[in-house]
Amino acid sequence: MKKKILRASIILGLFGAALVLLVLSSCVVSAAASTQTAASSNGEVVIANFNVPVDPGSSTFMSRVVSTAQSQNAAAIVIEMNTPGGYLSDMLTIINSITDANASGIPTYTFIVPDGLGASAGSYIAMATNSIIMGPGSEIGPSTPIVEGGTALEQNHTEDAMIDLMESLATDWGRNVTAVFNMVYADQAFSTDQAVEYNVVNGNATSLSDAIGIWGLSGNPQVTLSENIYEQLLSALSNTILDGVLFLIGIVAVVIDFFHPTILLTVLGVIAIVAGLVGAEVVGASLLGIIILVVAAALIIAELKLGHGFALAGGVVLGAVGIYLLSFNIQYSPSPVNDFQLLSLLCLWSSGFWLPHTSDG
């Protein structure tokens, strides 16, 4: 009997000790959580200088902004926005980064700078943030997506998906769903006063510092981040026109080096070719455009044997078509593709420059 009582006493004692340890550990966790919250409220405000298009460079940049804010236990992220829009895929990546920031307890705000744009893909990014404040003379929207070279069905499917996304983002932050529907469906944009009146945004301010004051962050230290060299390079190479031009210039440079041997032209030509191909891969350029560029390159190289200039001219003109087609089936908001006539003029100038010149004299 005494042994049973002793055993029961030991069990009760162990249970009591475990209960005490559990309570103490809960207190420690609660204290740590409150300390973390206090540190966060007094932490840095990470300001992202988003005076850039929406592309692989800026999506990589925003991922770095969020990572920096999380590592610094920042009080908030502020997107200082002036963007014409860009690629839908990178827009979605940025929205996911904003969602990650909020999930870690870091609110994200957007300030569209005076006379600036939160257009197209930028309007979705702004709509994903906790609060939007616009400067005087700024504009938000329009937000209609474009599937370059796509069918009517592809365009409609993309537009429907973007309407759902925009309405969902507006609902999350208590904004006017009807107004944002019109931004996507009717290609409508709102000025600062209109956006405030229709509850598309949360307010207006004359400067970034005023907006930060409205968000209650004036007393917090601030750090401003901009795209680094790598991110700027990604942005540059995400332009399909530049990718195609680099590819053609590289081929032409290598061909010229056979006529006037200098190792420098070949090296520069190879670098240009590689850069163009890497850029096309980054944005998922149209396979048809790449194939036509390869055919154009073959014509240009054939000039080495033919020597009369017609293959070179044909290759450059065909290359213009390839450059134009590189952007097909890429989703933009809006499309950053330049006028095809500019490409034609560029190619005519190039072929006229490199073709052999004759003289009546």
* DSSP character string of 259-272: HS--HHHHHHHHHH
Give the tokens for residue 23.
Answer: 């309570």
Q: What is the pLDDT of residue 244?
A: 72
Number of domains in the chain: 2
Mean pLDDT of the region 304-322? 72
| Among 265, 271, 272, residue whose Cα is nearest residue 242 | 272
Last residue of some domain: 231, 257, 280? 231
Residues 60, 156, single domain; the answer is yes
C-alpha span between 63 and 279 (Å, rounded): 20
Is residue 285 pLDDT above 70, yes or no?
no
pLDDT above 70: residue 26: no
In a domain, 113, yes or no: yes
What pLDDT band is residue 35 in, cutting at 50, 70 and 90? Answer: very low
* pLDDT tens-digit series, residues 52-107: 999 989 999 999 999 999 999 999 999 999 999 988 989 999 999 999 999 999 99
Which pLDDT belongs to residue 181?
A: 97
Most confident of 40-54, 198-212, 320-334: 198-212
> Is residue 50 in a domain?
yes
**207 and 326 both lie in a single domain:** no
**Together in a domain, 263 and 205:** no
**Same domain flag for 219 and 248:** no
Range of the domain at 59: 40-231
pLDDT at 360 over 50: no
Which pair of tokens denotes residue 114? 């005076």
- Average pLDDT over every residue of 39-47: 79
Q: For residue range 177-215, what is the model confidence (pLDDT) as tens digits?
A: 999 999 999 999 999 999 999 999 999 999 999 999 999
150 and 86 within one domain = yes
pLDDT confidence of residue 159: 92
User: Could you give the percent of the chain with pLDDT greater than 70?
Assistant: 70
Task: Say if 246 falls within a structural domain.
Answer: yes
Task: Inform me whether the pLDDT recorded for 14 exceeds 70.
Answer: no
Mean local confidence (pLDDT), 99-124:
96
- pLDDT of 288 > 60? The answer is yes
- pLDDT value at position 58? 95
**Statement: residue 23 has pLDDT above 70:** no
C-alpha distances out from residue 184 to 151, 162, 166, 178, Å: 18, 7, 8, 10
Same domain, 227 and 243: no
- Does residue 153 lie within any of the structural domains? yes
Residue 361 has pLDDT above 90, yes or no: no
Q: Which two tokens stand for residue 44?
A: 């840095």
- Whether residue 350 has pLDDT greater than 80: no
pTM recorded for the entire structure: 0.70
Residue 333, pLDDT score: 52
Residue 5 placed within a domain: no
Are 177 and 284 part of one and the same domain? no
Whether 159 and 196 map to the same domain: the answer is: yes
pLDDT of residue 286: 58
Please tell me whether residues 147 and 205 are part of one structural domain: yes
Last residue of a domain, one of 231, 260, 276: 231
CA distance 303 to 257: 12
CATH number, domain with residue 213:
3.90.226.10
Residue 34 lies in a domain: no
Is the domain of 172 the same as that of 246? Answer: no
Q: Does 4 reside within a domain?
A: no
- Per-residue model confidence (pLDDT) at position 21: 39
Question: What's the pLDDT tens digit per position in 154-165?
Answer: 788 889 999 999
With H, G, I as helix, E, B as strand and everything else as coil, classify residue 148. coil
Residues 349 and 250 occupy one common structural domain: yes
Across 212-245, b (16+ Cβ under 10 Å) vs e yields bebbebeebeeeebebeeebebbbebbbbbbbbb
* Integer Cα distance of 329 and 283 in angstroms: 11
18 found inside a domain? no
Whether 75 and 182 map to the same domain: the answer is yes
The residue from 231, 254, 279 where one domain ends is 231
State residue 344's pLDDT score: 42
